[in-house]
Amino acid sequence: MGEVAFALVLLAGAGLFLRGLQKFAQHDPGWRVDGLVTAEVQLPSQRVIDPKKAAEEDARKVAFVDQLQRRVSEISGVTQAAVCNSQPVWGFQSSGPFIIEGRPAPDPANVPEIFMEPVTREYFDTLGVHLIMGRNFTTADTVDHPRVTIINEMTARQFFPDESPLGHRIGWPGGDHNWREIIGVVNDVEFPATLDAPYTRYQSFYPLPQMPWGSSWTLLLRGSTKPETLSNDLRSTVAGLNSEVPVVEIRTAQSIVDRGLGNVSLLGTLLGAFAVLGLALAAIGIYGVTSYSVVQRTGEIGIRMALGAKPSNVLWLVLSRGAQLSLLGSVLGVAAGYGVTRFLEYAIPTLPTHDPVAFGVISVALVLVALLACWLPARRASRVDPIDALRCE
């Protein structure tokens, strides 16, 4: 019973972990990972204190990004291109508290956090993010026009459950709040390269001309050209705009996801190997215990067969006892395995470990292995010669 129970716990933990990892890898993150190439562009940065010069620096940065996107879109094989502050493979980089205009100020200790991502208007089409309501950014959404934002579905459901969020304004606590009108809602964007749960699921996107933060930008390219072929054309295109701007980390989004989950996959493989080893040891142990029990009962079996018991009766005698103990052990293992499932849910919240089908298949498989381990000595017991058994007695 103990061997079956412990083997089931180990198999359940490994099986649920591997199945959860497989489901996570196949889960739709809300955007198209396949066919997307990313690259990092580092613009020369300098600290500007004077507001007028800072505005001029932002204008030059926006102009460069606009030229960069146009030129990159003309590269052979590139069908779509966009520029953003951070790629959604690992997660967005910038976040901050926000408030909603016209609503009571929240408790300072409970002000909600929201991701803030400046993007070009081609961002959603390039990624494959769907606009649920409202409109996309346009060329008119510049620094000289009213500030606007697009939020994700989670933010809309949480803060505008019974009304449309379009037309409402969100801003930052303190100061003039920097109010921005909500003009659209898109589906939630998830981060497929990490199992860590984001500290906030609220997301907002801003037109890049209105928020040209930082000097490091991410290029998103979609097309038929391979990254190896694209890298030279991309570097030469950027060098044609500014030879001092390096282009690094030219990779497919899928390769980044695989790299991010590589260590977890290795852990799952090792856990699976230990589970198989545990299953083998459990089968050997059950076989040994059953064989020893049969040897001890040789005299009894000989008497039963001398009194008319058939080989099938002896086979059933040994197998039924082994099946009873295996089933009891599996019940204990299922109870302990449920605790393992709860632990995995607590340790890795984003890993889908709730899988009753996998649990049932593992339990049935283990019981069958245990019965096979019992069947071999039971078969040998059914062939005991009654005369030899009684002579030993």
Please check whether residue 30 lies inside any domain of the structure. no
Q: Same domain for 89 and 234?
A: yes
Structure confidence at residue 299 (pLDDT): 74
Q: Same domain for 57 and 21?
A: no
Domain span at 113: 44-244
Q: Same domain for 271 and 123?
A: no
Please check whether residue 256 lies inside any domain of the structure. no
Q: Same domain for 268 and 237?
A: no
* 3-class SS string, the chain: CHHHHHHHHHHHHHHHHHHHHHHHHHCCCCCCCCCEEEEEEECCCCCCCCHHHHHHHHHHHHHHHHHHHHHHHCCCCEEEEEEECCCCCCCCCCEEECEECCCCCCCHHHCCEEEEEEECCCHHHHHCCCEEEECCCCCCCCCCCCCEEEEEHHHHHHHCCCCCCCCCEEECCCCCCCCEEEEEEECCCCCCCCCCCCCCCCEEEEEHHHCCCCCEEEEEEEECCCHHHHHHHHHHHHHHHCCCCCEEEEEEHHHHHHHHCHHHHHHHHHHHHHHHHHHHHHHHHHHHHHHHHHHHCHHHHHHHHHCCCCHHHHHHHHHHHHHHHHHHHHHHHHHHHHHHHHHHHHHCCCCCCCCHHHHHHHHHHHHHHHHHHHHHHHHHHHCCCHHHHHHHC
Q: Same domain for 341 and 233?
A: no
Please check whether residue 127 lies inside any domain of the structure. yes
Structure confidence at residue 193 (pLDDT): 84
Q: Same domain for 145 and 289?
A: no
Query: What is the model's pTM?
Result: 0.77
Q: Same domain for 230 and 121?
A: yes
Q: Same domain for 240 and 289?
A: no
- Look at the chain and report how many structural domains it folds into: 2
Please check whether residue 138 lies inside any domain of the structure. yes
Q: Same domain for 73 and 222?
A: yes
Q: What stretches in the chain show pLDDT beneath 50?
A: 48
Structure confidence at residue 155 (pLDDT): 96
Please check whether residue 255 lies inside any domain of the structure. no
Q: Same domain for 17 and 149?
A: no
Q: Same domain for 94 and 18?
A: no
Please check whether residue 35 lies inside any domain of the structure. no
Q: Same domain for 158 and 211?
A: yes
Structure confidence at residue 176 (pLDDT): 79
